[in-house]
Amino acid sequence: MRILPFLRCHPDQAPHDPAARIQRGPTPPEDALRLAPGGLERALARLPVTVQAVLHRSGVPGAAVAVVQGGRTVFARGFGLRDNRGTAPVTAETVFQIASLSKPVTATVVATQVAAERVSWDDPVRRHLPGLQLSDPQVAAQATIGDALEDLGYPRGAIIERLRLAPLDPFRRRYHYANFGFTIAAEAVAAAAGAAWEDLAARALFRPLGMQATSARHAELLARDNRALLHVLQDGRFQPLYDRDADAQSPAGGVSSTVLDLAAWMKLLLRPHRPGQPPLLTEAALLPALVPQVLDGLPPVAAARPAAYGYGFNIGVTPGGHPVMSHSGAFLLGAGTHVQLLPSADLGVVVLTNGGPVGAAEAIAATLTDTAQFGAPLRDWFAAFNGRMQGLYAPVGDLAGGPPPATPEPPRAAEAYAGRYDSDFFGPAEIVTADGKLAILLGPQRRPHPLAPWDGDVFALAPLGENAPKGSLSSVRFTMEEGGPQASSSLGWTRRDWRAGGGEAARHARLDRAAPRCGRRLSRGAAVDRILPRRAPWCCLRPWRPDERLRQGSGGAGHRHAAFFVPGNARQVAPLRLPWGGAGGRRLGGYVAVPRSAGLGGCAAVPGRRGGRLAAQRRRG
């Protein structure tokens, strides 16, 4: 997303009034306070003690730090343990998952393609991803690669396709932290380069800089022996309980690297021109990423320094007047990372840790840059950042922290809720029963989440995963309607809605009754095109009626007939051939689920016997 037009001024449109030029012109870098005499040396000398103190206060098992200045790596070292159950130490060569620190790395890869003139920051995303759809067609048409640069476990392509259903704020009006904006931009650039994103990142940035331990693929991380495990904060201590595969959003959070590799990256950012080496990017191609493009919210008071976001970098100003580019990365499951660049001081620091975000990485970096600028840190940075991070661990969900109802209504029989539910955005969910208890299966791995009775048709769900801290509790509410039950859940950040019906695994046990999956029981001539959600790929079923005349058709075995009733005309049917049990239809307890037929808008009814291809005879009464 880009900054509002009135906040931008093209160099060719500079104001003519000299006073205006002075007021609106950039502040010269030399106006920033000089680094304190001996400040950087003092900061580097104190850095080991600083890191050890922060690890002790935070409980984070391990960290690695690198500092670059003047085009050289002046510090690179590991501290603590890769896995707090053992003794393997963290070194400067230890590979960490860098989480959202992947975003500025991705922006740098994009800058290499801008320098190569394969794309520009202002290219419409649709130029390279013509299938992109968003809920606002105008935004989808106008969104640029720059605009985009600012989980249930579905693959990347499926999630990008479903972004057409996500609500949007007014275009280019505010900054939102969004992993899949980055992913869209990266996919567009990769398409322009004719390569998979992971291969492009390696070819355009990692290999030329000698970043041999850096990868955008989770499998390559797992293959490395010297890697730090994730440690999640649970019950007051860090524990190595989870793995985090971020391949679906690799450009936004799936990169793994070492501080030595990232030191090479920081040196490129601070000095894009590399004497005696082939150019990877130009200052002109990189600059848009490192300057404000959109305000990161408004300052709470007039005395506060404003913050902005570039393309993959947070942009601000230090108390000493130095522009600073930074970014943090965090997995609640066990990673905290941070990078800071002060171009006017030719200084950069990166900190990688293997504990969930508690402010450790940010505190180490801020203490170093403060000491370099002012001779000593301006505050207790760990206390400051740790306080900000506490909210990340607060339980989420509309039932979290609340008492259960004093006199709850009993739920219906478990079978009343069971079945498959469909959501255009989140995909299918299935409610299953076992020993009279309910669970909801979500995502392509169909991970079970138990549902506990709460009050009548309301059940309690304890969300699992990174975005569900311990103690999280959400309601799953079933609403019984004529067209079948609906289920919705508020998991703290969004509302998930499913409507029963319309899936491959249609509930055949209820096809001859109210059939909540399929909508109401069909009668002659009933118009059924509104029973299922829009774009539902499967129609509901009903028993075959004897007055529907069939005739044997020619063709091989393994095909079967489907009759579509056109809404408003009880006696009009239309033929459809489909393979038995194949992609066209699914055998379900004597019925076959049949895909919708374009232009007919009705539901399919299929005879329950096998045989050669049958064709319906269109007839009018």
CB burial of residue 231 (10 Å; 0-12, 13-18, 19+): buried
Please tell me the predicted confidence (pLDDT) of residue 134: 52
**pTM of the shown model:** 0.69
- The verdict on residue 514 lying in a domain is no
- Please report, for the domain that includes residue 303, its CATH number: 3.40.710.10
DSSP 3-state assignment of 3?
coil
Alpha-carbon span 365 to 370, nearest angstrom: 9
Low-confidence winner among 128-137, 414-423, 573-582 (lowest mean pLDDT)? 573-582
pLDDT tens digits, 388-432: 998 888 887 778 888 889 999 998 888 888 877 766 556 667 788
Considering the domain boundaries, does residue 13 fall inside one? no
**Position 62, amino acid:** G
* Strands annotated E in 81-130: 96-97
Write the pLDDT tens digit of every residue in 349-400. 999 999 999 999 999 999 999 999 999 999 999 999 999 998 888 887 778 8
Same domain, residue pair 177 and 42: yes
Q: Both 306 and 228 in a single domain?
A: yes
Whether 235 and 270 share a structural domain: yes
Would strands 591-593 and 232-234 be described as parallel, antiparallel, or unpaired? unpaired
- Is the domain of 53 the same as that of 158? yes
Per-residue model confidence (pLDDT) at position 442: 74
Q: Are residues 279 and 182 in the same domain?
A: yes
What backbone torsions phi and psi does residue 157 show, to the nearest 5 degrees? -60, -40
Instruction: Copy the structure tokens of residue 349.
Output: 């620091």
What's the pLDDT tens digit per position in 218-261? 999 999 999 999 999 988 899 999 999 988 889 989 999 999 99
Q: Do 432 and 330 reside in the same domain of the chain?
A: no
Q: Is the pLDDT of residue 323 over 90?
A: yes
Q: Distance of alpha carbon 270 from its chain centroid, rounded?
A: 29
**Same-domain status, 62 and 181:** yes
Q: How many residues does the chain have?
A: 621
Residue 445 pLDDT grade (very low, low, confident, very high; cuts 50, 70, 90):
low
pLDDT in tens, 177-190: 456 677 888 888 99
pLDDT band at 304 (very low <50, low <70, confident <90, very high): confident
Task: Read off the tokens for 177.
Answer: 């932290």
Could you tell me where the beta strands, DSSP code E, fall in 470-540?
474-481, 484-490, 495-500
CATH code of 444's domain: 2.40.128.600
Same domain, 287 and 383: yes
Lookup result for tokens 């690179």: 76
Q: How many CA atoms lie within 13 A of 479 on its CB side?
A: 9
Strands (E), 192-346: 232-234, 237-239, 256-257, 294-295, 308-309, 314-317, 323-331, 335-342
Number of domains present in the structure of the chain: 3
- For residue 315, give its domain range: 32-393
pLDDT, average across residues 116-144 = 68
Asked, for residue 2, whether it belongs to a domain, the answer is no
Whether 533 and 496 map to the same domain: the answer is no
Question: Strands 419-422 and 495-500, how do they pair?
Answer: antiparallel
pLDDT tens digit sequence for 546-573: 333 333 233 333 333 333 333 333 333 3
DSSP state of 206: I
Backbone φ and ψ of 577, nearest 5°: -95, 140
Running DSSP on this structure, what letter comes out for residue 345?
Answer: G
User: Average pLDDT, whole number, for the chain?
Assistant: 72
CB hemisphere CA count around 580 (13 angstroms)? 14
Q: Are residues 166 and 298 in the same domain?
A: yes
Collect all residues with Cβ–Cβ distance below 8 Å to 55 and sequence separation of at least 6. 61, 62, 63, 79, 80, 360
pLDDT for 415: 82
Identify the pLDDT of residue 436.
78
The answer to whether residues 60 and 231 touch, using CB atoms and an 8 Å cutoff, is yes
Predicted confidence at residue 394, as pLDDT, reads: 83
Q: In this structure, which amino acid lies at residue 549?
A: R
Does one domain contain both 69 and 185?
Answer: yes
Tell me what percent of the residues of the chain surpass a pLDDT of 90. 39
600 domain residue, yes or no:
yes
Q: Where is mean pLDDT largest: 46-60, 147-161, 436-450?
A: 46-60
Same domain, 472 and 550: no
Q: Output 203 or 466, whichever has higher pLDDT.
A: 203
CA 123 to chain centre: 23
pLDDT at residue 57 tops 70: yes
Q: pLDDT-derived band of residue 467, with 50, 70 and 90 as boundaries?
A: low
| Least-confidence region, from 212-221, 259-268, 271-280, 327-336 | 271-280
Q: Which residue(s) pair with 452 in the sheet?
A: 460
E-only strand ranges, 443-502: 447-455, 458-461, 474-481, 484-490, 495-500
